[in-house]
A and B are shown apart, each in its own frame.
Chain A
């Protein structure tokens, strides 16, 4: 089974430039998450999609970050304009999104997109 795919793996940009990250979740997974992980910290949820609808984007800095999940499959996270404090790993994850108790719904992560803003 193919895992969560992300690209690019690494990106270096100057502040005030823009960047976009792409994610392809595991086939059949209805829920897609974007997390931001700053070095030495745990993942922080930016946005959660259920199919192509937004479930939670309360921690997404909407003045500069945007995300979409067209057709309920792939997703793109964009930052424009970037700030120095956006340097982090951007993790995409997916899960079945089922409320099945026995499923113990598990979240699967991609390898992350490493962003450095200089």
Chain B
């Protein structure tokens, strides 16, 4: 079946530190991969996505590369800011399964000045 496993948090970093949040997946079909971000009191917002192997999604300084060989989609940012404090969710969508989405459990990030 389809599932997403995400690195557990919480993660606390100092401003300008390097960020990595690990995400691995299992899929039976041809998934698209996503990272969503949830700021306090808000809904989930799309951060970036990749639709096929070796694609790199990027947005707001965040990047993630779709690695089929390691079934991974790790989120990275070279220099985090206080405003990046949020919960990050890795997700998978299998187009062959009626566009169903599978979410990880979320990783809470706090960036301190």
Contacts and interface: CB of A to CB of B under 8 A. Distances in A.
Interface of A: 4, 31, 33, 40-43, 45, 48, 50, 55-56, 91, 93, 95, 97-99, 101-112
A50 B98 contact: yes
A105 B103 CA distance: 15
Given A104-B32, A109-B43, A111-B43, A56 B100 contact: yes
Contact of A43 (B30, B42, B44, B51): B44
Contacts, number: 64
Contacts of A50: 98
Given A97-B99, A111-B42, A42 B105 contact: yes
Contact of B46 (A31, A106, A112): A106
B99 A95 contact: yes
Interface of B: 30, 32, 34, 36, 42-46, 49-52, 89, 91, 93, 95, 98-101, 103-106
A110 B43 contact: yes
Contacts of B104: 42
Query: Which of A4, A41, A91, A109 gathers the greatest number of chain B CB atoms within 10 Å?
Result: A109
